[in-house]
Amino acid sequence: MTPSDECYDLIEHFEGCELKAYPDPATGGDPWTIGYGHTGPEVHPGMVITQAEADALLRQDAEKVAKQVAPMVHVPLSQQEFDALVCFVFNVGIGNFAKSTLLKKLNAGDYDGAANELPKWNKAEGKVMAGLTRRREAERELFNAVA
């Protein structure tokens, strides 16, 4: 399965796009980020990219996430469920997903239980973040959408 346009749209909406590299807000430094949340050793202070480059990095990063998510899920997924998971993992990371109750419930066939885990991931540094609350609700809505 590959991410759909709906997945890319959701990531774009919540990540926003910055064409000039910026430091991690929590550390004031590493990891430096650019585009739609892209990080990596090539991202450095002063780096600037074009919108086309940001779009290409988003596709590359989301496809990488999709390839990491797919083998971890052992139950059938709709496109919407898959897209919601890719958006979620794009934000929280594959390591967090791998050890999550969400994945355990999903692989046990508890789709509703998995969807209800999404809103629990709305904190940064232990504090509820309004933006994460909105993102998790949008991911849950997409996960529960009927094609």
Catalytic residue IDs? 15
Residues whose CB is less than 8 angstroms from the CB of residue 40 and which lie 6 or more positions away in sequence, other chains included: 31
How many other CB atoms are found less than 10 A from the CB of residue 119? Answer: 14
Phi-psi region of 94 (alpha: psi -120 to 50; beta: other; left: phi over 0): alpha
Using CA atoms, how far apart are residues 142 and 32, in angstroms rounded to an integer? 29
